[in-house]
Structure 1
Amino acid sequence: MASTDVVKGMARARRSGISVMQVRIVLLVVLLAGWEIMARSGLLYRDVVPPLETIGWALIKLLSSQAFYWNLAVTVAEVLAALAIGGSIGFMTGVLLGGSRFFGRALEPYIYYLGPTPKIIFFPIMIMWFGVGPGSKIAMGAVSCFFPIALSAAAGMRQIEAVLIRVGRSFRASQWQMAMKIYLPAMRPAVMNGIRLGLGIAIIGTLLAETKLSNRGIGYLIMQAYSVFDMPRMYALLITLFAFAIGANAIVGRFGGPAKRQ
């Protein structure tokens, strides 16, 4: 019944001419208003939930700092390196699992079992292997994004229609031509969705590693602000982090074609 009411409500909204953007704006305004009411109500410590004006000034100050951009560049470089390493290994693994029924049945259960495991438990191993520098953060992000990309690539391989493969073979296409003209185009939606998921998880893994042991990066700045109880600066850093994640996801989404819109 609840789902039926939601569907009917969405249908009424469409008939009334309410756009998706208008709904998003209203939701954002409600969230900001709720935050401001909570900040000024006195129900929580004022420094824990600072007013929006205080956060805004902290954001302006943050964006005016050269040190912020240097640390942002460090985090972006680590995330991109993690995505490149973990994504390429995950893609090749997924192609192997999806293209071979034997390897799929033998190895894919391990990926399903290890996928939901919190990757932060591997961080002490990453420190021993790669040290306390950027290597351990990149490794953490690579391990995090490997699983969704591998599973998406395997699913993409299995979704290729057999008729397309028969057509390619009937034209005596080489393996390279089959890969470039048939396999990759057919796998593209699934693989790009996996990359979008992997990107988000790579950001999470890298930032978690930065908060645990680092002297640079956005994760380090967040923990630094938290340690001195500078809540406006911490929230400003989180806002910039959200903006970075949304922008990166939008860029990847453009390569994969337009996302489904409501």
Structure 2
Amino acid sequence: MASTGVLTSSERASGWRPDPVLWVRLAIIVGVLVLWQVVAMSGLLYQDVVPQLPAIVAALGRLLVNPELYRNLWVTLYETVLALVFGGVAGLFVGIVLGGSRFFGRAFEPYLYYLGPTPKIIFFPVMIMWFGTGGGSKIAMGAFSCFFPVALSVAVGMRAIPPILMRVGQSFRASPRQMVQKIYLPAMREPVVNGLRLGFGIALIGVLLAETKLSNQGLGFLVIQNYQRFDMPAMYALLIAIFVLSMGANAAITRLTSRSAASGAR
């Protein structure tokens, strides 16, 4: 403990030193921006296809003050959250069943590995026939995309639970619901969180793809609308907004789960 205090005081005396990883991340961002600007100014590509950074920044400013952005943002968030709920709950249930039963795991889990990498957009016509051309088909598309990473991650987490925890629950004659709440979920918190984080990203991709194909609202619709107008600065600005939205949602999921883990540890 004494040595820790000496290191801390010396670091404070020498001043604040940022993490080298932070410098690398900033260097990557700056390098990408510089490369983009160089390509845009070089004339190697059509200027409207790769617009210069000031044009994109101006389009981003116009986008942020446009009420249409927030109306469509709400639509995409609403559809993505519902897709995550439906796909995540179904994936959690299937993952627990497959991970907790060797028979069901050997019988059905290979189908998840076969269908998981399949591009889900090929099933969108089926979703339209089943759920119509409204928001139902987009939510179903996102839920179907989200289901596979959650189910596979939970199944792997189930097999990693120490057998001693299983025997403790059985010795107390816990019901299946109690086993899930008291044993399974706390013991495989990390696989569940990783599955939900990955599932959210894939659900968002599924919803955005569906919005680009058949929709008149949502962020995906705005992207394809700007593309059809050949308004490239606005399209790139919208892509930046979607990227920041994904990062923020991912960070929010991580923070919420870390807080729940800390409260559970107490």
In structure 2, give the amino acid aligned to 1:128: M
In structure 2, give the amino acid aligned to 1:91: L
Cα displacement (A) at 1:17: 8.0
1:209-228 mapped onto 2 (5 Å cutoff): 209-228=210-229
Residues 24-43 of structure 1 deviation map (CA, whole Å, 9 limit, x = unaligned): 01110111011111111111
Give the whole-Å Cα distance in 2 for the aligned partners of 1:177 and 1:220.
44
Which residue pairs with 1:29 in the alignment? 30
Residues 85-111 of structure 1 deviation map (CA, whole Å, 9 limit, x = unaligned): 111111101111011111111111111
Cα displacement (A) at 1:257: 3.1
Which residue pairs with 2:170 in the alignment? 169
SS class of match (1:50): coil
Cα displacement (A) at 1:178: 2.9
Give the whole-Å Cα distance in 1 for the aligned partners of 2:140 and 2:43.
43
Counterpart check, 1:208 vs 2:199:
no
Which residue pairs with 1:184 in the alignment? 185
In structure 1, give the amino acid aligned to 2:106: R
Counterpart check, 1:57 vs 2:58:
yes
The unaligned stretches of length 5 or more in structure 1 are 1-15
Cα displacement (A) at 1:174: 4.3
Tell whether the 8 Å contact from 1:87 to 1:145 is kept in structure 2 after alignment.
yes
Which residue pairs with 2:95 in the alignment? 94
1:55-204 mapped onto 2 (5 Å cutoff): 55-204=56-205
Cα displacement (A) at 1:254: 2.0
Which residue pairs with 2:39 in the alignment? 38
Tell whether the 8 Å contact from 1:189 to 1:256 is kept in structure 2 after alignment.
no
In structure 2, give the amino acid aligned to 1:98: G
1:7-26 mapped onto 2 (5 Å cutoff): 19-26=20-27
In structure 1, give the amino acid aligned to 2:163: A
Q: Percent identity?
A: 61
Normalised by the length of structure 1, the TM-score is: 0.89
Sort the Cα spacing of 1:25 and 1:164 in 2 relative to 1 into closer, same or farther, 3 A: same
SS class of match (2:208): helix
Aligned length: 243
Which residue pairs with 1:233 in the alignment? 234
Cα displacement (A) at 1:252: 1.3
SS class of match (2:258): coil
In structure 2, give the amino acid aligned to 1:125: V
Which residue pairs with 1:9 in the alignment? none
Once structures 1 and 2 are overlaid, which stretch shifts more, 193-202 or 165-174?
165-174
Give the whole-Å Cα distance in 2 for the aligned partners of 1:193 and 1:17.
28
The unaligned stretches of length 5 or more in structure 2 are 1-16, 260-266
In structure 2, give the amino acid aligned to 1:104: G
Give the whole-Å Cα distance in 2 for the aligned partners of 1:62 and 1:194.
32
Tell whether the 8 Å contact from 1:193 to 1:256 is kept in structure 2 after alignment.
no
In structure 2, give the amino acid aligned to 1:44: L
Tell whether the 8 Å contact from 1:208 to 1:219 is kept in structure 2 after alignment.
yes
Give the whole-Å Cα distance in 1 for the aligned partners of 2:230 and 2:248.
28
Sort the Cα spacing of 1:17 and 1:210 in 2 relative to 1 into closer, same or farther, 3 A: closer
Which residue pairs with 1:5 in the alignment? none
Which residue pairs with 2:5 in the alignment? none
Normalised by the length of structure 2, the TM-score is: 0.88
The root-mean-square deviation of aligned C-alpha atoms, in Å, is: 1.5
Cα displacement (A) at 1:18: 5.7
